[in-house]
A and B are shown apart, each in its own frame.
Chain A
Amino acid sequence: MTDKKPEIAPELKMRLKAGYDRDWRKELRKSVPIKERMKIPRQKMPEREAGERNRDFGEVNRGLDLEAAVREAQRCWDCANPGCVAGCPVSIDIPSFIKLIEKRDLAGSVRKIKETNSLPAICGRVCPQEIQCEALCNLKKATGVPVAIGNLERFISDFDRSEGTVFVPEPGRPTGKKVAVIGAGPAGLTAAGELVKRGHGVTIFEALHIPGGVLVYGIPEFRLPKSILKAEVDYLQKLGVELRLNFVVGKTATLEELKKDGYDAFFIGTGAGLPNFMRIPGENLVGVYSANEYLTRVNLMRAYDFPAYDTPVIRGRRAAVIGGGNVAMDSVRTAKRLGANPAAIIYRRSRREMPAREEEIKHAEEEGIEFHLLTTPIRYLGDENGRVRAMECLKMELGEPDSSGRRKPVPVPGSEFVTEVDLVVVAIGQSPNPLMAQTTPDLRVGKWGNLEVDWKTMGTSMPGVFAGGDIVRGGATVILAMGDGRLAAEEIDHFLRNGHR
């Protein structure tokens, strides 16, 4: 993302204004004076008790009930210049959907959100709202406490699923064109949905046996229940999207071969699936996992239900997770649930620099996760069977800010110490998956192995081939991947209708 102050495009401004000027909106604004609205406290998200939830994989957040949601919606001022929208990467008309909740027109609110966000049930659960819409909410500027936009988004999508109001839009008139979408993560699923609505034939090719990308193999059940994803994928199939699982593009068939099979355009959304390691001694000992492997075993392969499911996972007694992002939080909370005590985060900077979502850090703390900050491992020690038994760490202190603006950790000389561990999860980031680039020589690749695109169109160096999500951005977010998928779909539509972009 750029550091530029987000601005609202003129076209979007007009759309927002049209909603703002509706009579019912004017009346609603008047019905409760601002002063009254400001007296309403931010509605708390009901959560399962920490000591109960840290032993199972049930969802942590329960969701707001209708009355709490309406009260929360009343907190929103319905601003003429809503800051929130500028913070949303897919420009949801936030005041409109919130005011429809206040008006108790829940079906209307669903429709409003879905104009620009096809997967609100997922975004409402995993978006980092505190640095996006909620960070720019005018109420936050005034009082420090923004409207709980994320919780409202989740509320409305839960209503959508429970009431079965899911309206299946008419697919566009068939164009006779075929698009291959490679990768069934949020980027690919979004692109597929948008393309099929425009009347194109869409086939998604996915390497794994369940669609969803990181949403199914990475993010755990307790944060994003699999049933939600399943509902979304069912919906795409209802719209006519064909799903080809267990198909590795580049291996089962290359992009060029698919072209010969009659696909007219491509969207590549293969994600950042290559796990990074630190390259320190002992990293290949048994019991040292990449976060991808650890989470894949537990989530995708359901090792938490071993031996009812066949895939095992090492259930550490003393677990250390290296890193401070969402992936690290998900891993450590998983280890805790599988019985590790202590389950600890080892992070080389301080709490302030941790890139994980605020809610994840808070939940982890409540669940009894230990945090060893300003600490980094330098090697792992094994026993006679090649299993990890301890790790040696180094204390750090914060020095000058680095290129990312965060203060750079520097080692404290002589601060080495050894601590016993029998499970280590390395969660220090992922790189773009190299398979597509290796097997499609015409694709231009950037410094970090990411596919290079024209950001205005998401077009790659090959005509008719578009890309988005983590494969172009490196590890980013669900909503940015979805935004890319949507933009690319528009451009692919344009390409298919005009023969060029």
Chain B
Amino acid sequence: MAKILRRERLVPNIHLLEVHAPEVARKSRPGQFVIVMPDERGERIPLTIADWDAKRGTVTSVFMLVGTSTQKLSLLQSGDEIPVYVGPLGRPSEIRNFGTVVCAGGCFGIAAIYPIARALKQAGNRVLTLIDVKASYLFYWEDKLKETSDAVFVSARDKRYNSKEYVPYKLDTLLKDEKTVDRVVAIGCTYLMYACAEATRAAGVKTMVSLNPIMVDGTGMCGACRVTVDGKTKFACVDGPDFDGHAVDWQELFSRRKSYFDDEVKSLCAWERERFS
């Protein structure tokens, strides 16, 4: 059980959730996640830890509205209790001084990349942050990202920011412009991560992606989160979520993420009917 301190709409389809969870806060590292169940009848869903404060005992995540669980979360208010909030889970991202690192993020990944960029910066890296948004009004946490990056490039499909190019294409250009990029880290929707990995494959720049398969327990007990990396089956919740993007079987991940497509629609309709009619 965890008490909500803040639940706030950042941009139209993305919300922030800050809870009091001192034990999780004490152990959190960049790249780890929590499993959350919005109510007693809910599903267990993973959310990346986007920020934490060990002293205050708080943990922050940012989530995008996609289905029943995230809709339910978006209606919770500060003071409410979440029945399940467990973590930190998964292995932390590898943080070392690599040299120049590109941090690429989109949708909820704009927040999820933040603690990684911060830690990489602290470790002495030159951090270039690449953000992808469909429209400029969907960009949030600009200030936070600027603080932790040597440069921030934003791609939006409208004209307000520096580029209209989809981030992976931008990444391609960046690889050419910059003499050396030593590493790329990408978080966001599956397609963005896939496209980033493809963009760096030819140049052979190590590209870590934070995989987002469907999960249940998040502790290695069920195997729902199996992904194939380098021809071997891995459990993303305990062996990941970070993997080498060039070794991931993306097709399998795409289809496994669609396992319950019809049921998700059904679930959302049933919940909306119950809640709003």
Contact = CB atoms under 8 A, between A and B. Distances in A.
Are A and B physically bound partners? yes
Contacts of A443: none
Interface string B18-35: 000001101100000000
Interface in B183-239: 216-217, 219-224, 226, 228, 233, 238
From B84, B86, B223, B266, name the one whose CB has the most chain A CB atoms within 10 angstroms.
Answer: B223
A117 interface: no
Contacts of A208: 217
A385 B86 contact: no
A251 B85 CA distance: 13
Contacts of B23: 247, 252-253
Nearest to B233: A284
Given A252-B86, A310-B68, A246 B1 contact: yes
From A290, A301, A308, A311, name the one whose CB has the most chain B CB atoms within 10 angstroms.
Answer: A311
A386 B41 contact: no
B252 A310 contact: no
Nearest to B221: A273
Contacts of B37: 209
A388 to B, nearest CB: 11
Given A209-B37, A209-B84, A310-B267, A252 B223 contact: no
A309 B221 contact: no
A296 B217 CA distance: 9
Contact of B259 (A302, A308, A314): A314
Given A207-B219, A296-B221, A252 B24 contact: yes
Interface in B54-96: 68-69, 83-89
A311 B220 contact: no
Interface in B238-277: 238, 251-252, 254-256, 258-260, 263-264, 266-267, 270-271
A305 to B, nearest CB: 9
A289 B219 CA distance: 16
B42 interface: yes
Contacts of A247: 23, 86
B260 to A, nearest CB: 4
B15 interface: no
Contacts of A434: 220
B83 A209 contact: yes
Given A284-B226, A311-B43, A292 B87 contact: no
B221 to A, nearest CB: 4
A208 B68 CA distance: 21
B89 A293 contact: no
Interface in A245-297: 246-248, 251-253, 273-275, 277, 279, 283-287, 289-290, 292-293, 296-297
**10 shortest interchain CB distances as A-B pairs:** A386-B255, A312-B263, A293-B222, A307-B270, A246-B86, A273-B221, A310-B43, A290-B223, A312-B260, A311-B43
Interface of A: 207-209, 246-248, 251-253, 273-275, 277, 279, 283-287, 289-290, 292-293, 296-297, 301-302, 306-312, 314, 385-387, 433-435
8 contacts: A209-B37, A252-B88, A273-B219, A274-B220, A301-B44, A310-B267, A311-B44, A312-B260
Interface of B: 1, 23-24, 26-27, 37, 41-44, 68-69, 83-89, 216-217, 219-224, 226, 228, 233, 238, 251-252, 254-256, 258-260, 263-264, 266-267, 270-271
